[in-house]
Structure formats: C-alpha cells, structure tokens
Amino acid sequence: MKNQLTSRQCCRRIIRITLRAAFLIPVLAVWALSCTTDHVPPVDHPDAEKYQRIVARFMEAGASGVSITVRSPKGTWHGTGGFADKGNGIAMRPENTLRVGSISKVFTAATILRLQEDGKLAITDKISKYLPSEVTSRIANAGEATIEQCLNHTSGIREYLDDETIEGIATGRIVKYSAAQNLALVYDKPADFPLGKGNYCNTNYLLLSEIIRAVTGKSAYHIVRERTIEPLGLRNTSASVVLPASLTQSYFETDGSMQEVTWVDNNAVGGEGQLDGGMISTSDDVAAFLEALLTGKILSPASLALMQTYQDIDPNTLPDELKYYKQYGLGLMKIETDHGTAIGHDGHVYGFVGKVFYLPEHQTTIAILLNGWSPSSVAVLNAKSTFNLLF
C-alpha cells in the first residue's frame, strides 16, 4: 500500500506541474456547469433514499461525476451524479463506463487461479518457469519470486511507476505502453525489498499478465475476457486496447479547478495487457463481478480460499484515513468497517478513482467509480464513514 500511496502522491505533483503548462488558455465557460446535480434513479428499491445519500455526499464534495451500484438481498440499486463529460454537459448515467484502475487486479488474480484449476500453472511455481530469462534475469528478484508472491505483493520487485515513469506519462513521452514495455522500465535496477517482503507494487501484475500470455498463447486481455468477463455476461466490462464509446472523460483538480486528463489515463494504462490497472467497466458490472467471485460462482472453493489467504498490511504504511485497511490477499483487500469486514479492492489511475467491496455479513456489495480526482471527493471515497451510509 505504501508504494501505491507514494505513486499517487508523486503523480498528483507531476500532473499538477504538467497541467499548469498545458492549460494556459482560458478554461471554456461551459466548464462552469454545476456538478452538484445528482441524477436520482428510480425509487423502486426499498433502500433507494438511503443509498442516494452516498451520491449526495459526493456531490457535496464537488465530484465531477460518480457512478454507484449497491447489490443486496433486497435487489440492485444504481445511482449517478455529476457529469460523464463536463465540457459538453453530458450527465453521468449508469451505462457510462469508467476506468477501474487496480480493481483490474481482482480480475487478474481470479484468472490466474482459474488457470491453476486448469493445470496451466501453479501459483507456488517461480515466475521464471514461465517467463524467458531475458526478462527475469533483468528484473531483480524475478528469478526466485513465485506467482503467489506477485499476487500478494511480497515479491519485493521494483515498482515501475516511479517519478520518471509518471513524468513520461504526463508529458506524452510514454504512450500506451504494453505490459512488456512497462516491465522493461525496471530492467537492471535494484529491487525495492528483499524477496518475501515488500509492499503494494503494480509491476507484480504486469508479470502476471505476461505469465497469462505465456501459458495460454493468447493475449492476457483475451484470457481475462474468456475466463471472467464473458461467463458472467458482463457486457459493459472491457479488457482491451479499444476504447468503448461509453467511456467518460476524466478530470484532475489543479490549482482549484478540474482539468480534463483523459489523455493521461489513456497514455498510462491504454496498452496491451495492462492488467495492473487497464480495465474499463461500470459500477454495476464490477459489483456483479465481485459478488459472483466471493460467493463462489467463478472459482472452486479451494481456489477462493487461496485467494483469501491474507498478509497483514503494516499500518505504518497507511495514512490515518486508511487505517481500517487491514490485510491483502491474492488480489483482494480486507478492511474493517463499522458494520463488519469488507473484501474487495481500490482502483486509482490519474483522473479515475474508485472502489468495490463486499460485506459478507450483510451480503451487500458497493461499487463506487469516480471520473475525477480531487482532495475533497477522494476524502469521501476513502472515509470509513462512507460505508455507514449503506445502513
């Protein structure tokens, strides 16, 4: 988690500097459109009024746009607020897709475990069994790290999203790199931690993407679609370099105003096999996926139990507002809310941020996707108290 948070802090600083240079022209007047409107969904869900408070909380925080889905034994509820496209005044709708960032890792981990069920790999194997020495010999720890250590971020492998990479993305020097190209950014550099230790590291999931490709002979995105997306009928989820027409714009607060940074997000995770954070979906689809996963509809009981083998997160690596994040499993985060344990994952790119969590005690899933980064809206997203609005 510390590396993820450090990367976010660096990206905010670098994006701000870049945007100050890029946006010297006056902002179009249409950008002054209010984003305090919440688009009230049908009220046929018995808890619609209660859930609508979550949308309202984000709108009060000035969110550019938000899409929320809640699935519970009482049914499924959708709520949206703000804009899919601020410049053209297009309201956010449930069918709009957004980049889901590291929520992609849950799809990746599930796919790896499906491949293990099929006998294509074993997560206890070293990644060097499946990847060529030209790759593993040039990435510190990659020669000895296992698939499982990549899944739970204990490989110690170096984070590719350092200052230099983030600056390259923000300036357009790095454009839609594939998983393989991004891995090359850590060649011949020291590991971040000794093998068996470490912190949240996106490079791990690029290696997993390449393993999926190696053991199947098909692109990692193709296999994710085949093993997780299509069986569940997730029509609005995309693992592809092709952008859906339903994709919203994204925004980033710079000097008090929201600037469009869709191009930055596309540069960052628009390449082939970017399973650390390149997928696109709706809040409805990611909620349906996580619920299906954690209720045994995707993996065998044994595989699901493996996925929920957790490592403690060092609380010293977390900011105060995220101290309720307790453990990391194989592509899953475990947190403790005021209403019990929740399991899921956060997702952050640059302008897109979100999270999806399942509360097993209540059989309730919440997915929140935002198309704008700002301190105030992310504070609501990260707040433990936001989960209280479900009850």
Give residue 191's region: left, alpha or beta (phi > 0; psi -120 to 50): beta
Query: How confident is residue 33, by pLDDT bands cut at 50, 70 and 90?
Result: very low
Per the prediction, the chain carries an average pLDDT of: 91
Q: What is the pLDDT of residue 40?
A: 47
The arithmetic mean of pLDDT across residues 61-78, rounded, is 98
Q: What is the pLDDT of residue 17?
A: 53
CA distance 264 to 102: 16
Q: What residues does 340 pair with on adjacent strands?
A: 337
| Per-residue pLDDT tens digits for 72-95 | 999 999 999 999 999 999 999 999
**Strand (E) or helix (H) holding 205:** helix 203-216
The arithmetic mean of pLDDT across residues 137-150, rounded, is 98
The arithmetic mean of pLDDT across residues 122-151, rounded, is 98
Which two structure tokens, joined as six digits, stand for 20? 């100050």
Let me know: does 195 contact 145? Beta carbons within 8 Å.
yes
Query: How confident is residue 22, by pLDDT bands cut at 50, 70 and 90?
Result: very low
Is residue 24 predicted with pLDDT exceeding 80? no
Q: What is the pLDDT of residue 44?
A: 81
- What CATH code would you report for 2-390? 3.40.710.10
Buried b (16+ CB within 10 A) or exposed e, 241-277: beeeeebbbbbbbbeeebbbbbbbbbbbbbbbbbbbb
Query: How confident is residue 268, by pLDDT bands cut at 50, 70 and 90?
Result: very high
Helix, strand, or coil (residue 239): coil
Give Rg (Cα) of the chain.
Answer: 20
The arithmetic mean of pLDDT across residues 185-203, rounded, is 97
Q: What is the pLDDT of residue 26?
A: 23
The arithmetic mean of pLDDT across residues 154-170, rounded, is 96
Domain ranges of the chain: 2-390
The arithmetic mean of pLDDT across residues 246-254, rounded, is 97
CA-based nearest residue to 253, from 15, 9, 10, 5: 15
Q: Provide, rounded to the nearest whole percent, the portion of the chain with pLDDT above 90.
A: 88
* Least confident window among 14-23, 114-123, 331-340: 14-23
Q: What residues does 356 pair with on adjacent strands?
A: 345, 367
Q: Provide, rounded to the nearest whole percent, the portion of the chain with pLDDT above 70.
A: 89
Which two structure tokens, joined as six digits, stand for 379? 């504070």
- List CB contacts of 288: < 8 A, sequence separation 6 or more: 71, 232, 234
The arithmetic mean of pLDDT across residues 379-390, rounded, is 98
Is residue 11 predicted with pLDDT exceeding 60? no
Query: In angstroms, what CA-CA distances link 95 with 46, 60, 73, 75, 280?
Result: 22, 23, 22, 18, 12
Task: Give the Cα-Cα-Cα angle 344, 348, 351 (nearest 5 degrees).
Answer: 145
Is residue 153 predicted with pLDDT exceeding 80? yes
| Per-residue pLDDT tens digits for 269-292 | 999 999 999 999 999 999 999 999
Is residue 28 predicted with pLDDT exceeding 50? no
What's 227's DSSP letter?
Answer: I
CA distance 106 to 38: 29
Is residue 31 predicted with pLDDT exceeding 50? no
CA distance 101 to 185: 20
Alpha carbon 35 to chain centroid, angstroms: 24
Q: What is the pLDDT of residue 34?
A: 30
- List CB contacts of 35: < 8 A, sequence separation 6 or more: 59, 62, 63, 64, 65, 81, 82, 83, 86
Q: pTM for this one?
A: 0.91
